[in-house]
């Protein structure tokens, strides 16, 4: 066990931040969280809860000091700069949670930490969209590196999954497979996918802080090739359902305006543009101690958490069941003329 540290977590009550708090407490650290008090305000009564808004209301951080800060909620460089500069003399290490979406080119497998990141022609833009999210995160990274230099730790996760995920971009599959029946599966079972269990990411982040590690790390997983077929088969095994997977080619899906990633989570078209999207190099993080729990554990715990939610909760990602049924009917009724390859 590393020596006890004082850690400030910006965020800490929703998803990754909440798991980072839990990991820090489990490892015996003294934790303070800085939040607006909007989401789960009564969570973690045992930690110091500082209230404010990182966009202009940082008074609660003035005059304080910690060993390290972990910034889980920085999206705009202007806002990140405010907290980074305020805490520059108050902490020894600034850990910024970024994203693999910073990369400018996902067309080639093996993207590593030195691959080029995206940029914005107008760096004052603050509207977060699918096009600006990655470049804005890259600018946030630059701010932290500028202010902290060798004291900066930049972690770039891929898709984060597991209990308390507010996006449902993974939850859809364990839930849908558990329901059983005929399931529309995208493209092909051997298609590679990458994601990381939030608890693996959180625990590793705390260990990185404990060890005083700095630099840039891609952090997704697992440490071997994972396929879409394995995700669905594991979900079926864990839930014990009677699910049957109907693998529908992406040409058919795209022609019917099925939205990759959100309407069918984990799926991105197998086009040249996205050839490396699910093949990011994470060797550096693994060498620094990143480990991955079995996929079955992630599926099982995600299902258990989902079962505790209100029964009428609608997922924020995934395909509407009526649309799925209609698409499956259309796919099965198509003329077998070879126009769409299976």
Predicted confidence pLDDT, tens digits, the chain (342 residues): 578 999 999 999 999 999 999 999 999 999 999 999 999 999 999 999 999 999 999 999 999 999 999 999 999 999 999 999 999 999 999 999 999 999 999 999 999 999 999 999 999 999 999 999 999 999 999 999 999 999 999 999 999 999 999 999 999 999 999 999 999 999 999 999 999 999 999 999 999 999 999 999 999 999 999 999 999 999 999 999 999 999 999 999 999 999 999 999 999 998 888 999 999 999 999 999 999 999 999 999 999 999 999 988 999 999 999 999 999 999 999 886 555 444
CA distances to 94, 208, 291, 333 from 215, rounded to whole Å, are: 11, 10, 18, 54
SS3 284: helix
156 domain residue, yes or no:
yes
15 domain residue, yes or no:
yes
Considering the domain architecture, whether residues 117 and 206 belong to the same structural domain is answered as yes
* 124 φ/ψ sector (left φ>0, alpha ψ -120 to 50, else beta): alpha
Question: What is the DSSP code string of 231-264?
Answer: HHHHHHHHHT---EEEEE-HHHHHHTTPPBTTTB
Considering the domain architecture, whether residues 152 and 188 belong to the same structural domain is answered as no
Question: What's 185's domain CATH number?
Answer: 3.90.25
Measured CA to CA, the distance from residue 87 to residue 93 in angstroms comes to 10
CA distances to 145, 177, 194, 258 from 250, rounded to whole Å, are: 40, 20, 19, 9
| Spatial contact of 7 and 68, defined as CB atoms under 8 Å apart | yes
262 domain residue, yes or no:
yes
Considering the domain architecture, whether residues 317 and 246 belong to the same structural domain is answered as yes
Considering the domain architecture, whether residues 240 and 104 belong to the same structural domain is answered as no
Neighbours of 190 (CB within 10 A): 11
Find the domain containing 72 and state its range.
6-163+196-219
Measured CA to CA, the distance from residue 53 to residue 10 in angstroms comes to 10
Number of domains in the chain: 2
123 domain residue, yes or no:
yes
Considering the domain architecture, whether residues 188 and 202 belong to the same structural domain is answered as no
Considering the domain architecture, whether residues 244 and 119 belong to the same structural domain is answered as no
Considering the domain architecture, whether residues 17 and 123 belong to the same structural domain is answered as yes
pTM confidence score? 0.95
Neighbours of 14 (CB within 10 A): 18
Considering the domain architecture, whether residues 188 and 136 belong to the same structural domain is answered as no
Measured CA to CA, the distance from residue 33 to residue 217 in angstroms comes to 24
Token pair 């980072």 in the structure block, residue: 20
């Amino acid at each position: 066990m590393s020596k006890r540290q004082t850690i400030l977590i910006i965020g800490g009550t929703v998803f990754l931040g909440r798991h980072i708090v839990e990991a820090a407490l489990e490892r015996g650290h003294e934790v303070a969280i800085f939040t607006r008090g909007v989401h789960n305000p009564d969570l973690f009564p045992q930690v110091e809860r500082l209230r404010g808004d990182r966009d202009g209301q940082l008074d609660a951080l003035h005059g304080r000091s910690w060993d390290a800060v972990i910034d889980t909620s920085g999206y705009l460089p202007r806002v990140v700069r405010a907290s980074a500069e305020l805490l520059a003399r108050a902490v020894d290490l600034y850990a910024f949670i970024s994203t693999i979406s910073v990369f400018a080119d996902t067309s080639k497998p093996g993207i590593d930490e030195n691959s080029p990141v995206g940029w914005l022609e107008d760096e004052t833009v603050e509207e977060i969209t699918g096009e600006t999210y990655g470049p804005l995160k890259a600018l946030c990274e630059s701010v932290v590196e500028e202010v902290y230099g060798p004291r900066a730790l930049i972690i770039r996760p891929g898709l984060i999954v597991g209990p308390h995920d507010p996006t449902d971009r993974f939850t859809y599959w364990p839930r849908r497979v558990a329901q059983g029946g005929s399931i529309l599966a995208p493209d092909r079972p051997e298609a590679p996918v990458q994601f990381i269990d939030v608890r693996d990411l959180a625990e590793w982040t705390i260990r990185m802080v404990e060890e005083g590690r700095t630099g840039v790390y891609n952090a997704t997983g697992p440490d071997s090739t994972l396929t879409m077929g394995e995700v669905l088969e594991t979900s079926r095994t864990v839930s014990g359902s009677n699910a049957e997977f109907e693998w529908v080619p992406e040409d058919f899906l795209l022609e019917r305006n099925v939205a990759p990633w959100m309407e069918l989570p984990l799926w991105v078209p197998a086009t040249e543009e996205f050839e490396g999207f699910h093949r990011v190099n994470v060797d550096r993080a693994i060498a620094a101690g990143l480990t991955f729990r079995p996929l079955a554990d992630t599926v099982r715990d995600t299902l258990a958490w989902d079962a505790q939610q209100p029964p009428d909760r609608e997922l924020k990602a995934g395909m509407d069941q009526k649309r799925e049924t209609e698409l499956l009917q259309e796919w099965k009724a198509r003329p077998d003329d070879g126009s769409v390859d299976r």
